C-alpha cells in the first residue's frame, strides 16, 4: 500500500491516535464485502463496516405476497415446502419472495459457478444417455420398444443445457420488537429450521454467506413494511478493494493496512448488477441520502462517466447541496480516460465541490508493486490518468495520489487481496489521507468545511516539476503538511470564494481564433459561507485580497476589496507570443493579512496554441520515445475539412513496446463517449497504424501518441502524418425520402482532389411507441426521500410492441439516452419483458441493441424519477423510440443517380467504380426511394427507415462493419444519414359484396332456396363464433337445427360452436365435452365412411375433378369431426382418468390415422392430442419429441409442465430439476421491480 509518497506513513508514526478514528467514510461503489480480509474491525476494535446499502435496486425482492404458517410450514414461491424455525413472529404472517442467484451474483463470480454446476450436471446426463444405449443394445432389432427408446435418446441428446442457477425462497417477518427480519433458503432444501433471521444490517451488523461454493456474502435491508426485501451483495471486487485502500486493518500485518485503519466504512452500492456494475441515476441519489442518514464525514466515489456539460445535472446539483449543507467531504476519481487534455470524468473531475484525484506512479511503486526491471527514477503520471481542464476551463484535477495498490477483495474471488490500478485507487488513497486529517481535527475540536479541506490539500500539495498541472492538479497530496496547515489556519475555514467568467469556472482558449489576439475577461468574485453559519457571520466578512497571476501572459489588477457581496475585476490574456502547445496559468486571490496561508481562490487559465496548415497534410517526423513520454499535437482543422486520416509509422523499433494513441475532437454538447477514441497497440520494427475520424472546420483537436508508462525501450524513430479530407454536402429539401420522392443534394470538394463513390443503404426501422399505461407513485420514505423532506416519486410508463420473427432491437428514450451525470432528470431505466412477464433485458442512459429470439408481444417499462411532480407529469405521454436493426442480407440498397431526370425514369446510376473529382468541383447526387418489394414486411405507415449515404472511399484495410452498431446508427465519416418515411396510399372505397349462391339445375326453385337459407345460417353462425358472440350464435343455431337437422355445413358450424364453447370455459365442464361429442356424432351420422373410403380407394380421372373436390371436402369434415371427438374424450380422460374415455380417445385417433398417415401434419389436431396419443400408446419417446417441439414453438407454462411430467416418466431427474427451475424464472407472477 503506497503511503510514503503522501506522507501517510510519517503521519501515523507522528500521530498514531489520529489513524482515522472517529471518521465514517461512505464508499460509493460496487459494494463492500464485510467478510473480506482487513474489513472486520477498526484499529480501536469497532465494527469496520457499519452499514451496507444497495442503492441500485438490483437486489430488491418483491415480498408483498403474505401467507400464514400451518403446522410450522408454508409453501414458498418456488413451490418448495418451507419448514420454519422457531422464530419470534407473534403475527404468524410471512411475506414471501423469490430471487435467482444470477441476478445478485457479481459477473466475475457467475462464470465459475456455472462451470462448476455444469461439471455436476454432465455426469448425470452421460449416465442417462448410457442407460438408454444399454437398453437399446439388449433389444432385438425388430423389437417395438427399440423405436421408442431411439426417440427418447434423440430427445435426450438434443436437450441443450442452460443453467438457471440457484433459486432462493425469501421469507420476511416482523418480530415482537417490531424489527423486520428475513431468511433466504440458500440451500434450496426448504429446511429453514437452523437459519438465522437477519435484520437490517445497520441494526445488528450481521451478514451471511450463500454457500461454501460461491463464498458470496450478503446482508439484508427490508422496506415498505416487509413488502420489499433487499439482498445486498457486491456487483464486483472493485468496491471492496477501494474500501481496503481507505481503511483496511490487519493487526498482524500492519504493512497491509489501508491509509486510515481506524476509520469506519459504509458500503453504498451504486453499481447495478443488472448492468454489470454500472451506476444509475436512482442509485446515485439514494447513495447521497444514505450517506447523510449515516452522518458520514467523507464520501469516496471511484466511479464516473464522461459528461457533455461539466458541473451540471441532477446529481451534480444534489451532490453540491449535500457537501455545502451537511459538511460531507466528497472525493472522486478524475477518470481513466487520459492522456489527452479535457478528459476528466464526472463527477470527480468536473464538479467544483468535489475533490478530483489524478493517479501517479512513484519509483518505489514501479520497483515493488509492478516488478519492473527498468524504471524511471522520477514519479510520473499513469498514462491513462485523465487530464483537465473541463470544457468550461475548470482544472478538474485537484490533487494527485498513488494510483495502484494491493488491497483486499471479496471472498468470492477466492483471494485475500489483489492488485488494481486506476484513479479508482488514487481517490481512496487520497480519501484515506483526508480521513487522517479529519481524525486529528475532530480530536482537537478544530473547525473545517469541505471547501477548507480542499484548499488545505491544494495549498500544501507537492508540485512535480516533470508533470503539468493538467495531470497533477496542484500536486501530490502531502497529508502531514496538510494537517499542520489545517491546524494553523483552522479559523480561516468558513469562507469560500468562487471565481467565474461569464458563468464558466475558468478560461479555456482552445481554437485558433481564440489565440490570435489579446483577450480581456471579466472575473466575477462571489463569496460564500457554509450553510450551517448564521447571517451575523456575513457581517464580519471583509477581505483585502492580493491578485496574483502566475504567468507573464496574464495581466490583472493588484488588489481587490471584498465584503460579503459579488465583485468583479478584469484580466487580460495575451497568447500571441506563446509557442505551439498547451499553456497553463492561474489568477490567485490571497488574503493580504495572511499571505503565508496561500491562495484562497484560484482561476484556471488554459491556452492551446494549435498547429495550423494551409495544405491538406501535416507531417511530424523523427520522433523519439522513452517510457512514459507522451507527445501532444494540437491541430487546427483547415477550412473545408470534415474528416482526417492519421498514419503512424515506426522504424527500427526494438524491443516491442506498448503505445497509446488517443484523439479528442470536441463537439458541442457531446461527451467523450462521442468525441474521443483511443487505441493501445504494440509497435516494433517498421509497424504502421491507421485511424480515420471526423473533424470540424476551424476547430482544434488533439492527438496524443505516448509510450506506455511501463513500456521499456528507447530505440527507433516514429512519424505521424495527418491527412485532411473534405466533402461538403448541401441537401435540397428536408433530406427525407418518401414513396415516389428522392433525396437530392450537391456535393463539393473544397480542400483537395478526391475520389468518391456514393452508396446509400437503409438499415434500421424506427417507430414511435406511446405509453399504454403510466403510473406515478411516491417512493419509500427511507431511501427515496431527501434529507430536507422532498419526496422522490416514480413515473413508470409501459409500452408494447410485437415482432413477427427473431429480431435485434434497440429501445431509446430520446433526449434521455445520452445523459447520466449531465441529465436534469434523476433517471431513466428500462426493462424489456416477454409475454410471460419474464425480464429479458435491462438498460439505462446508454442503451444497446438486444436480440429477441422469438416472435411475439413484448412489454417495455421505463422508470423516471424526480421530486418534482410537474416534471414527471410531462413524461406520462413520452414516446419510446423502437429501432429494429436489419441484418446485412435484409438491408436495402438504394439507387443513386447523378440527376433528378435520370432518377425519375430509373435511368443512369452512379458507377460502382470511384469517380475522380478535382479541388473545387461539385456534383449532384440523387437517391431514389426503395422499391416496394424490398420493404420489410412488418413496416407500418409512419415508420421510418434510416440509413446512410456514404461518399468517401474506405481506407485500404479499414474495418467497415456490415451490421448496425449496437448503439445505433451514427453519421458516417464522409457521409450523411438519410431517412425514408413509409406512407400507405388510402384504400379505395369498399364496394358492396353479395353472397355467392349455388344453383343446381337438378333441383327445384324451392329446393335451391332452401339450400341458400341453410348455407346462410351456417355461414352466419360461423361468423358469430369468430366474433365470440356465443350467446347470439346459440340462439340462431338452435333455431336452424330445428329446421335443418341434417344439413352438413350447418352441423359443421354447430361443431365449431360447441368447440369454441368448451375452449372458452374457465373450468372443465363435462357437459361441454359431451356436447362436442354429440355435435361430432351428428356429422359422422351424415357421412358414410365406407363409401368415402371406397371412393378414395380407386383412381380417378381428371374429368372427375368436381367429384374429387366434393369427396375431399367430405373427408375434411369427417376428419374435423373425428379430431374434435377425440379431443373431447381426451379432456374427459385428463379430468376423470376414466378408462372408457381413454379408450374412446384412442379409437377416434386411430380412426383419424386411417385417413391421414402423418397426424402431425394435420392443422386440425393439437399437439396436446398427439402427445397424449403417443403417451397412452406407450410411445414415451414419440410423446417427448412432440412435446419438445411444442415447447420450442411456444414458451407456455402448461406446456412446460407437461414436458416436465414426461421427463419424470422417462426418469430424467436432472432435467426435471432444470426445467422446474426455469419455470420459476420464465413465468413470474409479476413484473420484476425496478
Catalytic residue positions, numbered: 29, 238, 424
- DSSP letter string over 712-748? ----SEEEEEEEEE--EEEEES-SEE-TT--EEEEEE
Ordered alpha helix ranges (H), 1097-1195? 1105-1136, 1139-1155, 1167-1176, 1180-1193
> 181 preceded by cis ω (within 30°)?
no
Cα separation of 999 and 142, whole Å?
57
Q: β-strands 915-917, 60-62: how paired?
A: unpaired
User: Are the CB atoms for 431 and 401 separated by under 8 Å?
Assistant: no
SS (H, E, C) 553-574: CEECCCEEEEECCCEEEEEEEC
User: Are the CB atoms for 1076 and 1125 separated by under 8 Å?
Assistant: yes
* Residues contacting residue 933 through CB under 8 Å, at least 6 positions apart: none
Measured CA angle at 114 (ends 108, 115), to 5 deg? 100
Cα separation of 841 and 850, whole Å?
8
Classify residue 611 by its DSSP letter: B
Cα separation of 412 and 37, whole Å?
12
SS3 409: coil
* Residues contacting residue 596 through CB under 8 Å, at least 6 positions apart: none
Instruction: Dig out the grid coordinates for 91 from the structure.
Output: 403475527
User: Are the CB atoms for 631 and 534 separated by under 8 Å?
Assistant: no
Instruction: Dig out the grid coordinates for 839 from the structure.
Output: 425480464
User: Are the CB atoms for 762 and 738 separated by under 8 Å?
Assistant: no
Classify residue 968 by its DSSP letter: -
- DSSP letter string over 1131-1155? HHHHHH--HHHHHHHHHHHHHHHHH
Cα separation of 416 and 37, whole Å?
6
* Closest C-alpha among 242, 541, 538, 520 to residue 405: 242
Spacing of C-alpha 962 from chain mean position: 23
Cα separation of 637 and 702, whole Å?
10
Instruction: Dig out the grid coordinates for 1088 from the structure.
Output: 358414410
CA distances from 1036 to 33, 1013, 1071, 1158 (A): 72, 12, 20, 37
Rounded-to-10 torsion of CA 15, 18, 19, 20: -160
Cα separation of 272 and 270, whole Å?
6
Rounded-to-10 torsion of CA 948, 949, 950, 951: -170
Q: Which residue has the cell 474521443?
A: 676
Instruction: Dig out the grid coordinates for 40 from the structure.
Output: 472486520
CA distances from 162 to 118, 1217, 1218 (A): 9, 12, 8
In DSSP terms, 857 is beta-bridged to 802
In DSSP terms, 301 is beta-bridged to 28, 332
Spacing of C-alpha 327 from chain mean position: 34
User: Are the CB atoms for 295 and 325 separated by under 8 Å?
Assistant: no
User: Are the CB atoms for 419 and 369 separated by under 8 Å?
Assistant: yes
Q: What share of the chain is helix, strand, coil (3-state, %, to 5)?
A: 30, 30, 40
> What backbone phi and psi angles, to 5 degrees, belong to 625?
-135, 155
Amino acid at each position: 500500500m503506497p503511503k510514503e509518497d503522501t506522507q501517510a506513513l510519517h503521519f501515523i508514526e507522528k500521530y498514531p491516535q489520529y489513524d482515522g478514528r472517529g471518521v465514517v467514510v461512505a464508499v460509493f461503489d460496487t459494494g463492500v464485502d464485510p467478510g473480506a480480509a482487513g474489513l472486520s474491525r477498526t484499529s480501536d476494535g469497532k465494527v469496520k463496516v457499519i452499514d451496507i446499502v444497495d442503492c441500485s435496486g438490483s437486489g430488491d425482492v418483491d415480498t408483498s405476497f403474505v401467507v400464514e404458517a400451518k403446522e410450522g410450514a408454508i409453501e414458498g414461491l418456488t413451490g418448495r415446502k418451507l419448514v420454519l424455525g422457531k422464530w419470534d413472529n407473534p403475527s404468524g404472517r410471512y411475506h414471501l419472495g423469490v430471487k435467482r442467484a444470477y441476478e445478485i451474483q457479481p459477473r466475475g463470480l457467475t462464470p465459475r459457478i456455472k462451470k462448476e454446476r455444469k461439471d455436476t450436471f454432465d455426469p448425470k446426463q452421460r449416465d442417462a444417455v448410457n442407460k438408454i444405449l444399454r437398453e437399446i443394445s439388449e433389444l432385438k432389432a425388430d423389437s417395438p420398444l427399440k423405436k421408442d427408446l431411439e426417440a427418447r435418446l434423440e430427445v435426450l441428446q438434443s436437450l441443450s443445457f442452460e443453467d438457471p442457477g440457484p433459486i432462493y425462497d425469501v421469507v420476511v417477518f416482523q418480530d415482537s420488537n417490531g424489527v423486520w427480519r428475513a431468511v433466504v433458503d440458500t440451500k434450496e432444501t426448504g429446511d429453514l429450521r437452523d437459519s438465522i433471521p437477519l435484520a437490517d444490517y445497520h441494526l445488528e451488523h450481521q451478514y451471511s454467506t450463500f454457500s461454501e461454493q460461491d463464498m458470496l456474502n450478503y446482508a439484508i435491508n427490508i422496506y415498505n413494511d416487509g413488502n420489499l426485501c433487499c439482498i445486498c451483495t457486491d456487483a464486483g471486487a472493485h468496491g471492496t478493494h477501494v474500501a481496503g485502500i481507505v481503511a483496511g486493518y490487519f493487526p498482524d500485518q500492519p504493512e497491509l493496512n489501508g491509509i486510515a485503519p481506524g476509520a469506519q466504512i459504509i458500503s453504498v452500492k451504486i453499481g447495478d448488477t443488472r448492468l454489470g456494475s454500472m451506476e444509475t441515476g436512482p442509485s446515485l441519489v439514494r447513495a447521497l441520502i444514505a450517506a447523510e442518514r449515516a452522518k458520514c464525514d467523507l464520501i469516496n466515489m471511484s466511479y464516473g462517466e464522461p459528461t457533455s456539460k461539466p458541473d451540471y445535472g441532477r446529481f451534480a446539483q444534489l451532490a453540491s447541496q449535500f457537501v455545502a449543507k451537511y459538511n460531507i467531504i466528497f472525493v472522486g476519481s478524475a477518470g481513466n480516460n487520459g492522456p489527452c487534455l479535457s478528459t476528466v470524468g464526472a463527477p470527480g473531475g468536473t464538479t467544483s465541490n468535489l475533490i478530483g484525484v489524478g493517479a501517479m506512479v512513484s519509483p518505489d511503486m514501479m520497483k515493488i508493486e509492478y516488478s519492473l526491471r527498468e524504471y524511471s527514477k522520477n514519479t510520473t503520471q499513469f498514462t491513462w490518468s485523465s487530464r483537465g481542464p473541463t470544457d468550461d476551463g475548470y482544472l478538474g484535477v485537484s490533487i494527485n495520489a498513488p494510483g495502484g495498490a494491493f488491497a483486499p477483495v471479496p471472498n468470492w474471488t477466492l483471494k485475500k487481496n489483489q492488485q488494481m490500478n486506476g484513479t479508482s485507487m488514487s481517490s481512496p488513497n487520497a480519501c484515506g489521507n483526508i480521513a487522517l486529517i479529519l481524525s486529528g481535527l475532530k480530536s482537537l475540536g478544530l473547525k473545517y468545511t469541505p471547501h477548507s479541506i480542499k484548499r488545505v490539500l491544494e495549498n500544501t500539495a507537492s508540485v512535480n516539476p516533470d508533470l503539468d498541472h493538467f495531470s497533477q492538479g496542484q500536486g501530490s497530496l502531502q497529508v502531514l503538511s496538510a494537517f499542520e496547515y489545517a491546524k494553523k489556519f483552522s479559523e480561516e475555514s468558513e469562507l469560500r470564494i468562487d471565481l467565474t467568467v461569464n458563468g464558466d469556472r475558468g478560461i479555456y482558449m482552445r481554437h485558433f481564433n481564440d489565440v490570435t489576439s489579446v483577450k480581456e475577461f471579466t472575473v466575477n468574485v462571489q463569496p460564500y459561507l457554509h450553510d450551517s453559519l448564521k447571517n451575523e457571520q456575513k457581517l464580519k466578512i471583509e477581505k483585502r485580497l492580493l491578485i496574483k497571476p502566475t504567468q507573464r501572459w496574464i495581466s490583472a489588477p493588484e488588489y481587490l476589496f471584498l465584503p460579503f457581496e459579488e465583485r468583479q475585476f478584469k484580466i487580460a490574456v495575451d497568447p500571441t507570443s506563446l509557442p505551439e502547445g498547451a499553456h497553463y496559468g492561474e489568477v490567485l486571490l490571497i488574503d493580504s493579512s495572511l499571505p503565508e496561508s496561500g491562495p484562497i481562490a484560484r482561476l484556471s487559465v488554459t491556452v492551446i496554441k494549435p498547429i495550423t496548415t494551409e495544405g491538406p497534410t501535416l507531417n511530424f517526423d523523427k520522433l523519439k520515445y522513452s517510457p512514459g513520454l507522451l507527445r501532444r499535437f494540437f491541430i487546427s482543422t483547415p477550412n473545408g475539412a470534415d474528416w482526417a486520416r492519421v498514419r503512424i509509422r515506426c522504424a527500427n523499433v526494438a524491443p516491442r513496446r506498448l503505445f497509446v494513441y488517443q484523439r479528442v475532437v470536441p463537439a458541442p454538447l457531446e461527451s467523450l463517449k462521442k468525441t474521443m477514441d483511443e487505441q493501445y497497440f504494440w509497435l516494433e520494427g517498421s509497424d504502421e497504424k491507421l485511424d480515420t475520424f471526423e473533424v470540424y472546420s476551424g476547430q482544434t483537436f488533439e492527438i496524443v501518441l505516448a509510450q506506455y508508462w511501463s513500456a521499456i525501450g528507447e530505440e527507433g524513430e516514429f512519424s505521424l502524418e495527418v491527412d485532411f479530407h473534405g466533402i461538403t454536402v448541401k441537401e435540397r429539401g428536408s433530406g427525407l425520402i418518401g414513396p415516389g420522392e428522392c433525396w437530392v443534394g450537391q456535393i463539393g470538394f473544397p480542400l483537395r482532389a478526391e475520389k468518391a463513390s456514393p452508396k446509400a443503404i437503409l438499415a434500421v426501422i424506427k417507430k414511435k411507441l406511446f405509453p399504454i399505461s403510466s403510473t406515478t407513485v411516491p417512493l419509500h420514505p427511507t431511501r427515496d426521500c431527501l434529507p430536507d423532506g422532498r419526496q422522490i416519486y416514480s413515473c413508470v410508463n409501459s409500452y408494447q410492441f410485437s415482432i413477427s420473427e427473431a429480431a435485434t432491437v434497440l429501445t431509446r428514450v430520446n433526449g434521455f439516452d445520452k445523459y447520466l451525470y449531465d441529465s436534469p432528470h434523476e433517471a431513466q431505466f428500462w426493462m424489456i419483458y416477454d409475454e410471460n412477464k419474464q425480464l429479458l433485458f435491462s438498460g439505462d442512459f446508454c442503451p444497446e441493441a438486444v436480440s429477441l429470439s422469438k416472435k411475439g408481444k413484448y412489454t417495455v417499462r421505463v422508470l423516471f424519477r424526480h421530486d418534482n411532480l410537474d416534471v414527471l407529469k410531462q413524461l406520462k405521454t413520452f414516446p419510446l423510440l423502437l429501432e429494429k436493426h436489419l441484418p446485412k442480407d435484409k438491408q436495402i440498397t438504394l439507387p443513386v443517380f447523378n440527376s433528378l431526370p435520370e432518377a425519375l425514369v430509373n435511368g443512369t446510376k452512379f458507377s460502382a467504380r470511384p469517380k475522380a473529382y478535382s479541388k473545387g468541383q461539385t456534383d449532384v447526387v440523387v437517391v431514389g426511394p426503395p422499391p416496394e418489394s424490398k420493404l420489410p414486411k412488418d413496416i407500418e405507415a409512419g415508420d421510418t427507415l434510416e440509413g446512410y449515404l456514404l461518399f468517401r472511399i474506405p481506407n485500404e484495410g479499414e474495418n467497415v462493419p456490415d451490421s448496425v452498431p449496437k448503439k445505433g446508427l451514427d453519421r458516417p465519416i464522409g457521409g450523411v444519414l438519410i431517412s425514408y418515411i413509409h406512407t400507405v396510399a388510402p384504400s379505395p372505397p369498399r364496394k358492396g359484396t353479395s353472397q355467392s349462391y349455388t344453383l343446381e339445375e337438378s333441383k327445384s326453385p324451392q329446393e335451391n332456396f332452401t339450400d341458400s337459407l341453410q348455407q346462410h345460417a351456417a355461414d352466419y353462425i360461423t361468423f358469430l363464433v369468430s366474433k365470440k358472440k356465443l350467446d347470439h350464435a346459440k340462439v340462431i343455431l338452435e333455431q336452424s337445427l330445428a329446421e335443418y337437422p341434417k344439413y352438413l355445413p350447418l352441423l359443421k358450424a354447430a361443431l365449431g360452436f360447441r368447440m369454441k364453447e368448451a375452449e372458452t370455459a374457465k373450468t372443465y365442464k363435462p357437459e361441454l365435452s359431451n356436447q362436442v361429442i354429440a355435435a361430432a356424432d351428428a356429422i359422422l351420422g351424415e357421412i358414410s365412411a365406407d363409401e368415402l373410403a371406397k371412393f378414395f380407394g380407386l383412381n380417378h380421372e381428371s374429368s372427375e375433378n368436381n367429384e374429387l373436390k366434393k369427396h375431399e371436402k367430405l373427408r375434411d369434415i369427417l376428419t374435423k369431426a373425428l379430431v374434435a371427438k377425440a379431443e373431447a374424450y381426451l379432456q374427459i380422460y385428463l379430468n376423470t382418468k376414466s378408462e372408457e374415455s381413454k379408450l374412446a380417445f384412442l379409437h377416434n385417433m386411430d380412426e383419424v390415422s386411417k385417413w391421414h398417415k402423418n397426424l402431425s401434419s394435420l392443422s386440425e389436431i393439437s399437439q396436446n392430442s398427439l402427445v397424449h396419443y403417443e403417451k397412452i400408446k406407450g410411445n414415451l419417446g414419440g410423446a417427448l419429441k412432440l412435446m419438445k417441439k411444442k415447447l420450442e414453438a411456444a414458451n407456455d407454462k402448461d406446456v412446460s409442465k407437461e414436458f416436465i411430467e414426461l421427463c419424470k416418466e422417462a426418469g430424467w431427474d436432472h432435467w426435471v430439476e432444470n426445467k422446474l427451475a426455469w419455470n420459476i424464472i420464465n413465468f413470474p407472477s409479476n413484473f420484476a421491480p425496478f
